[in-house]
Structure 1
Amino acid sequence: MATGNPDWIRLDKALSIEADKGCTNLQGNQYQFNEFLCLNFGQSPPTGTPTSDRRKWQNFAAQYADYSNLSVAQRKTLISQTRQFLYELRKTLETPRELPPPKLPKTTAITDKKASLRPVTLDQSLNNLAEVGYKRGELLKRLGLHTVKDILFYYPRDHIDYARQVAISNLVAGETVTIVGTVKRCNCFTSPKNKKLSIFELILRDHTGHIKLNRFFAGTRFTSRGWQERQKRIYPLGSIVAASGLVKQNRYGITLDNPEIEVLDSVGSSIESLKIGRVLPVYPLTEGVGADLIRKAIIASLEAIKQIRDPLPRVLREQYGLMGLKDAIGNIHFPETPELLAHARRRLVFDEFFYLQLGFLQRRQEQKQVHNSAVFTPQGKLIKQFDDILPFKLTNAQQRVINEILEDLNSVTPMNRLVQGDVGAGKTIVAVFAILAALQSGYQAALMAPTEVLAEQHYRKFIPWFNQLYLPVELLTGSTKKAKREEIHRQLQTGELPLLVGTHALIQDPVNFQKLGLVVIDEQHRFGVQQRAKLLAKGKSPHVLTMTATPIPRTLALTLHGDLDVSQIDELPPGRQAIQTTVLTGKERTQAYDLIRREVAQGRQVYIIFPMIEESEKLDVKAAVEEHKKLSEKVFPDFKIGLLHGRMSSTAKDEVLTAFRDNEYQIIVSTTVIEVGVDVPNATIMLIENAERFGLSQLHQLRGRVGRGSHKSYCLLMSSSKTPDVRQRLTVLEQSQDGFFISEMDLRFRGPGTVLGTRQSGLPDFALASLVEDQEVLELARLAAEKIIVADQTLGSLPSLKKELETRYKKLMGGEILT
């Protein structure tokens, strides 16, 4: 028998048989009963035996040596005491004790341990780091990471909190944790169902229970017996192991999903892993660049953090409670606690917002010092005449915004103003006043819209007004005939044509204005930065008026238009009534069709909209065409139904819309091409199919196509989705008609990129900042930037800050202006 490792089963069996046979000191194959006991108790007690039990163990050896001199009663008592002692000792030794928590790693400890003999500098190439090397350094360049500074400022996109150690019995599905336990069993074998899959099993036990962990290795190299045996030798029975991962509940119980595992040197020793027992950074990756490579490169670079200089003045950091930049960089990668991570993230998010706002405000100040724009007369013949022919009274909000615009135009500093207004708020009228101010001052104006439908709608609105003022206006789109296009070009150059309305054709064509003084851009977020800049370049510092019918929350406005003056038309014209909005399921379709029949019977008209299928415009068109056929032949055979989709020619679209306006079609089936630019006061129902596939702001835009007349209007949102989130989103439309509130909710539900619709929206790429979660930090950063610009517009007294601004602002904005 091995020293310190008794054969519990043979001992218990010998004692049991001796007791059953009357304590006669039975003769075994080799020894008598008392001799066998003397041999066992004569050896050292098992490893881990408490001191008091070690004495008892030795006493039993002496008592069994005298066993033959004891009476039967004394023998029975001794055997009973021995069995009880062995039972309790075995229970003590085999029941896991609560293990002290391992010493979790600290960022500073990692830095000190991994620091190379040669000092690491911020400008040093990653290829030159011993831990990275040339080959892996070349891989990191795929992420734009060339130097030590690059990788230190390459922030994690997320963090997984493995720093919290819990007992096995306290594991809760969905949490990320670290457990520490003793290995009770380890096995590694090839899956019987898949010969290319190796399964690693580990059973850990702590003082509260046990858990089975699995890892799976795909590939024939993992199915070799040698590899599997090596895995088992890494985790010997009785060794102490730390494991981190996401807690999952499966049919076999609680486990950790694909855990990270490390064998500890001893109870309470430090965890050496870069993953286990810490708040683990998760980085954006690309093909060929794994997370471990980035973590190793960052750890090798941490030493250089002490060389970073903080551009933010100490007074500003203290005023806003911001962590120092060095500490923030260290703790964003390898935070010592979740609290330090939160402080680090807040500081770095502040930086992202702050430099953007500082750049906006500095540019705004520079714009105000430009004094070469045309000065327009705010009061003049054309504006007075237009005011007189308007058949309605302007709202207070419209008049306020017009006054703000005319004041801007009466200055040598170029206007740069955004007008936000809800659907039907009357932005077009406001734009006309600005255009007339330019025209009566001897300048030309251009209005650019993102789609032909919207450009045509503006053109149609302008024609009756401008005819009464005896002013020519033309439309230039991709569908404009060659002869007409050339005539427009000629009239612009001679100055005969004062106003041109168009689409991207305004910047794609060789369009040359004689004297461009005002640029109006509608739904400006749909244009790319360069597209807007090209139009502005056709004049000499022209005044710029941008408009959007998609109201955006203040956080988005500050991020997109921080250098603009923003006006809001926050009042609808009188007579615009609320549109009754209802979310319907497929089972309630009959009710929707009944309402449509009733409205059409009273002479009203209806829109039926289908969502755009982004993957394929062909499918988008096919769905609309098939539904149009079904509705025409089976559902509403007595009504005339028009069809409108994005693949139709501009002429065909125009014919359908004109027929709908003239009530030749009672129903129009359309894709989202109908979203803007269609004004049919007689339309009272907007039925939107698969409403869950639209954003709230887009649904609100579509809803705005009805309710433009005096009749009660309805918006029906058909959705077959049973997801609670979908129902919650669509309920917002049922409860609110306020575009600004709806946009705020859309931002929270879907995020800014989706709300704005395209990646050309000019939205900066933030590494950490979230416009939804970090609104308070954005407001703080704006306030701090305003204070600094007021104190020193050129930042001459803050050279470090000025240099950082130049680098950051260009990077955030892609080197392009926004407006």
Structure 2
Amino acid sequence: MIPDHLPTSIREDGRLMMLSRAIEQIHYPDNEEMRSLAHRRLAFDELFVLQLGMQEKRARWQHEAKDGSSFTRYDHRIFAEPDQELSSTSKIAKKVSQPDTQLLGSTLWSVIATDKPFESTLPFSFTPAQRRVITEIFGDLGKRKPMCRLLQGDVGAGKTAVAASALLLATLNGYQGAIMAPTELLAEQHARSISLMLEPFGIQTVLLTGSQRQRERNAARQALASGQAAVAIGTHALIQDDVLFQSLGLVIVDEQHRFGVEQRDALRQKGLHPHMLVMTATPIPRTLALTLYGDLDVSVIDQLPPGRQKIITRWRTGARSSEAYTEIAQQVSEGRQAFIICPLIEESETLTAKAATSEYERLQRDVFPDLRVGLLHGAMKPAEKDQIMHRFRDHELDILVATSVIEVGIDIPNATVMVIEDADRFGLSQLHQFRGRVGRGKHQSYCYVLSAEASIQAQERLGVFQDTDDGFKLSEEDLRLRGPGDFVGVRQSGMPELRIADFGDTVLIEQTRTLAEQLWSSDPYLRKAEHAPLRERMYLFWQNFMAH
């Protein structure tokens, strides 16, 4: 008889058969019901040890940081109309008071430049979803254990304003905050928008990137070390040894899947156990988030601000693809710009998809000879990519031919046309990210998805994309049609591959997460003798992940 690593209590709570019985019935089932019950037991095992590993990951981080800082909530400084029920709790300051300047030195705060709450200084009001998420984040910031939270939001959902709210609360408590972005362009974008948001409060922000002149870099470093600057926004340059903070209390990592674990940890180590918020604009299905980010609490901005123009999406095949070029010519004649996305960099002998380099040459020579066309792809050096994007942002180019390198974070309000060649080669979530690069300004925007002969499944996928603009619905559909491997976070996380369980099994995933949390709470690190077999099984399952 095979020893069973699951404790009896867990097995009974989960209504699971014994392990030896499950293995027997999965190979030689008495009937279909027994085969199904055996499969459920083995799937439970996979998900349960996965969730326990996530609990350990979270516990180790919070144990190392047990002396973190709890922030006092200044809701009257954030919300135009603070929630009266929340405002009655003891952790929330009920009257205007200066932050604790002893924590940072007198240079951080001189005079707050406005008596208005943060929301009232913005050109918009928070959506209910933004308000809910800010409240969740503030709840974490009010605890001594450091926050470990993932912030998800669809394209244009308002994550930047939420991040700025958290940064403002950190500075109101006398701490500094930092945002790390994967590219210089995205860092500069955050610096512009967040500096404007925090300016009314007299908060100085600095930008740190690899291409800065030495004089600018030195000035930014000195401002952070002295406490004169309360917020740092930058790229990997933030984690260089010569960048020092006076009192870093909040770390925000944008598009966190673009960074390695070591890079995120290096930024956290710049402070004394700071709170951490990671953000992504890639909607992730709930079941996938519960597993991929099982060590994090998850907040979701599932509502877009009112008044946003709907992007008109058109799926075209064959000869009708020329309609996209006609639209580009019309939009450029009105002073707008366009993206054209190709799945390959260079032409391939084995793949019949369009390549960015050859399409760039063809379009420049034959289709748009009088327009300014640029080329961007992942094989370029970072400095070259940033230069091209700066030229496009500054309207020195009319059309940008690119690969998937532009899928995240680029904000070009003047771009109104997105054309995606061989769209059947991309997943729904990636297509949605491409579409989100347009529609950011006041003008009507268009997205053309072009395909030659597509499979039945690809046709279904492109039809869904044409008719749906909800990123979370598209992500669920992507999970159903293509499986979890299409999600960038899964591909880059190092997570062990599931052999039996299904990422789409919402009930089982939620059950295993709840039971894992309960067991870990009662026996952290599974040190009780009765849990030794389960602990060994967990480490065996996670050994590949732990090696990363």
Q: TM-score range by the shorter chain?
A: 0.7 to 0.9
Residue equivalent to 2:397: 665
Q: How far off its partner does 1:810 sit? A: 6.5
Please give the alpha-carbon distance, in whole angstroms, between the structure 2 residues aligned to 1:764 and 1:650: 31
- Tell me what 1:782 maps to: 513
TM-score by length of 1: 0.56
Structure 1 residues 650 and 459: alpha-carbon distance in aligned structure 2, compared to 1, 3 A threshold: farther
The AA in structure 2 aligned to 1:402 is I
Residue 743 to residue 615, structure 1, CA distance change in 2 (3 Å): farther
Residue 321 (structure 1) aligns with:
15
Report the equivalent of 2:103.
none
Matches within 5 A, 1:480-559: 480-481=212-213, 484-485=216-217, 487-507=219-239, 509-559=241-291
Q: What is the CA deviation profile of residues 325-372 of structure 1, one whole-angstrom value per residue up to 9, with x for unaligned ones? A: 122344556767776554333212101111232444576678778652
- Whether the 8 Å contact between 1:349 and 1:769 is mirrored in structure 2 is yes
1:411 aligns with 2:143: yes
Q: Are residues 1:374 and 2:104 paired?
A: no
Change (3 A) 1:317 1:734: same
Q: Which runs of 5+ in 2 are unaligned?
A: 78-111
Cα distance 1:644–1:786, how it changes in 2: closer, same or farther (>3 A)? closer
What do the CA deviations read for 1:629-651 (whole angstroms, capped 9, x no partner)?
32233212333333333355555
Residue identity matched to 1:542: P
Asked if 1:343 corresponds to 2:37, the answer is yes
Kept after mapping to 2: 8 A contact 1:362/1:793: no
1:179-190 mapped onto 2 (5 Å cutoff) = none
Maintained 8 Å contact 2:340/2:419: yes
Aligned match of 1:399: 131
Task: Give the equivalent residue in structure 1 for 2:308.
Answer: 576
CA distance in 2, matches of 1:378, 1:658: 39
Distance 2:467 2:206 in 1: 41
Alpha-carbon distance between aligned partners in 2 of 1:382 and 1:808, rounded to the nearest angstrom: 53
The alignment partner of 1:500 has SS state of: strand
Amino acid at match of 1:322: L
* Alpha-carbon offset, residue 431 of structure 1: 0.4
The amino acid that maps onto 1:372 is D
1:636 corresponds to 2:368? yes
Q: Distance in 2 between matches of 1:544 and 1:796?
A: 26
Report if the CA contact (8 A) 2:170-2:249 is conserved: yes
Preserved CA contact (<8 Å) 2:338 2:400: yes
Q: Deviations over 1:672-721 (max 9, x none)?
A: 22222222223221101111222211110110111122322211011113
Matched position secondary structure for 1:387: helix
Q: What is the aligned-residue RMSD (CA, Å)?
A: 3.3
Q: How far, CA to CA, are the matches of 2:542 and 2:185 in structure 1?
A: 33
Q: CA deviation at 1:424?
A: 0.4
Aligned with 2:479 (options 733, 747, 756): 747
Partner of 2:530: 800
SS at 1:545 equivalent: strand
- Partner amino acid, structure 1, of 2:512: A
Partner of 1:310: 4
Q: Distance in 2 between matches of 1:483 and 1:615?
A: 43
Is there any run of 5+ residues in structure 1 with no aligned partner, and where? 1-305
* 1:452 match: 184
CA distance in 1, matches of 2:345, 2:157: 30
Which is higher, the Rg of structure 1 or of structure 2? 1
Find out whether 1:462 has 2:194 as its counterpart.
yes
Q: Is the 8 Å Cα contact of residues 367 and 413 (structure 1) preserved in structure 2?
A: no
CA distances 1:276-300 after superposition (whole Å, capped 9, x unpaired) = xxxxxxxxxxxxxxxxxxxxxxxxx
> How many angstroms apart in 1 are the aligned matches of 2:346 and 2:132?
40
Deviation, 1:483, is 5.3
| Aligned equivalents of 2:346, 2:165: Cα separation in 1 | 38
Counterpart Cα distance in 2 of 1:655 and 1:661:
10
Q: Which residue of 2 aligns with 1:713?
A: 445
Secondary structure at the counterpart of residue 487 of structure 2: helix
Overall identity of the aligned pairs, in %: 50
Find out whether 1:736 has 2:431 as its counterpart: no
1:592-611 mapped onto 2 (5 Å cutoff)? 592-611=324-343
Q: Judge conservation of contact 1:608–1:688 (CA < 8 Å) in 2.
A: yes
Give the drift of 1:744.
1.1
CA distance in 2, matches of 1:795, 1:659: 53
Measure, in 2, the Cα distance between the counterparts of 1:593 and 1:492: 49
What is the match of residue 695 of structure 1?
A: 427
Q: Distance in 1 between matches of 2:459 and 2:365?
A: 32
Residues 579 and 386 of structure 1: CA distance in aligned 2, closer, same or farther (over 3 Å): same
- TM-score, length-scaled by structure 2: 0.82
CA distance in 1, matches of 2:38, 2:183: 44
CA contact (8 A) 2:160 2:194 kept: no
State the Cα deviation string for residues 213-244 of structure 1 (Å, max 9, x = none): xxxxxxxxxxxxxxxxxxxxxxxxxxxxxxxx
Alignment match, 2:152? 420
- CA displacement 1:456-507 (0-9 Å, x = unmatched): 3222323434455443333333434455545544444333443222233333
Instruction: Give distance in 2, aligned partners of 1:533 and 1:766.
Output: 27
> What is the SS of the residue equivalent to 1:417?
strand
- Partners of 1:769 and 1:784 in 2: how far apart? 16
**Preserved CA contact (<8 Å) 2:337 2:398:** yes
Aligned partners of 1:389 and 1:780: how far apart in 2?
A: 43
Residue in 2 that maps onto 1:722: 454
**What does residue 91 of structure 2 align with?**
none
Give secondary structure in 2 for the equivalent of 1:312: coil
CA positional deviation for 1:671: 2.3
Q: Say if 1:462 and 1:580 are closer, same or farther in 2 by CA, change over 3 A.
A: same
Partner of 2:109: none
- Counterpart of 1:760 (choices 473, 478, 492) is 492
In structure 2, the residue matched to 1:15 is none
Residues in 1 aligned to 2:292 and 2:405: alpha-carbon distance in whole angstroms: 25
